[in-house]
Amino acid sequence: MWLRSRVYRQLEASAWPGRGLSPANLFLAVLIVGTVGAAIVETEPLVARGRELLFERMEIIVGAIFSAEYLLRLWVAVENPRFAKYRFPRLRYAVTPIAIIDLVAILPALFAVGGAQTLVLRFFRVLRMLRLAKLGRTSRAWDQIRDALYERRFEFALILGLLAIAMLISGSLLYWAEAGAQPDKFGSIPRSLWWAIVTLTTIGYGDTFPVTGLGKFLAGIIAIIGVMLVALPTGLFAASFTEGMQRHRERAQKKPSADG
């Protein structure tokens, strides 16, 4: 029990008595950043060619460490007061999102051994990026931004809906105007939607754009409205942050006067 309690304090960030990260979590954070970095460069043929075995062994070792971490976290879950009240604390912990991510993040290492097919192999390589989510455990700062966005979720959903309708209408109008001149790019509404997204987000790759007079006229009006629409979420974020800071400051100002 004494060992379990010690391991728990090492692994659970909120239970660590010292400042910053515990040695175990610091090691894991460095390992995560390193293994994600390795997973990125491994996909580049110019780097990976001739080093396939090296990367494969590295992945097996990393997988073993993450497996050990997962089992240890499962073992010490009973120490966490959040889960201790349940009948099966370890099972309760195992179904939390972060524990599921931990489990999924081990999978790519298991499949590193067998020579998988290209598409499946690439999928597991992308899955390794998920290990970044494990970093979320080490910081509480994300919670603040998440809360700020959560508080205004109805407004953001509304703006997303507005954006979706604007894209649908824009795409439909350009389909009407350009389908005859460019059937491969505007020949259906789903195809025109690609143009609408690329235009209303102001990315403008230049792979699809109207060429007819009517199409350019409609696209011009849509572009100007699009700039305004894209300004809506920016304005809402700005207002949310402004309100958040102000509330924070007001609370800070009230405290000293309450003492006096």
Q: Per CB under 8 A, which of residues 116..145 are in contact with its own copies?
A: 118-119, 122-123, 125-126, 129, 132, 141-142, 145
Report the candidate in 104, 122, 105 with the shortest Cα–Cα distance to residue 32: 105
Reported for 11-19, long-range contacts at CB under 8 A and 24+ positions apart, including other chains, are: 11/69, 11/72, 11/73, 11/76, 12/76, 12/79, 12/80, 13/137, 13/138, 15/79, 15/80
Q: How far is the CB of 99 from its own copies (least distance, A)?
A: 20
Q: How near is the Cβ of 117 to its own copies at its closest, in Å?
A: 12
Identify the DSSP state of 45.
H
Q: Is 245 in the site for its own copies (CB under 8 A)?
A: yes
- Choose the binding region for its own copies from 1-9, 17-25, 107-115, 217-225 (rule: CB under 8 A): 217-225
Residues 73-112 that bind its own copies (CB under 8 A): none
For the record, the structure tokens of 129 come out as 């990026």
In Å, what is the CA distance from 52 to each residue of 47, 49, 237? 10, 6, 45
Annotate 47-85 with three-state secondary structure: HHCCCHHHHHHHHHHHHHHHHHHHHHHHHHHHHCHHHHC
Scan residues 160-179 and list those touching its own copies (CB under 8 A): 160, 162-163, 165, 168-169, 172-173, 175-176, 179
Query: How far is the C-alpha of 69 from the C-alpha of 235, rounded, in Å?
Result: 43
Phi-psi region of 118 (alpha: psi -120 to 50; beta: other; left: phi over 0): alpha
Shortest Cβ 223–its own copies spacing (Å): 5
Q: Which is nearer to its own copies, 95 or 252 (CB)?
A: 252
- Quick check: 226 binds its own copies (CB under 8 A)? yes
Burial of 16 (0-12, 13-18, 19+ CB in 10 A): middle
Asked if residue 181 binds its own copies (CB under 8 A), the reply is no
Q: Is 187 helix (H, G, I), strand (E, B) or coil?
A: coil
Q: Shortest gap between Cβ of 248 and its own copies (angstroms)? A: 10
Question: Which of the residues 183 through 212 are near its own copies (CB under 8 A)?
Answer: 187-191, 193-194, 197-199, 201-207, 209
Q: Is 61 in the site for its own copies (CB under 8 A)?
A: no
Q: How far apart are CA 248 and CA 235, in angstroms?
A: 20
Q: What angle do CA 42, 47, 53 make, to 5 degrees?
A: 60
Figure out which of the listed residues 53, 234, 256, 259 binds its own copies, where binding follows CB under 8 A: 234
Q: How far is the CB of 96 from its own copies (least distance, A)?
A: 21
CB closer to its own copies, 56 vs 244 = 244
Minimal distance in Å, beta carbon 175 to its own copies? 6
Binders of its own copies among 18-57, rule CB under 8 A? Answer: 36, 39-41, 43-45
Of these, 52, 103, 140, 220, which contacts its own copies (CB under 8 A)?
A: 220
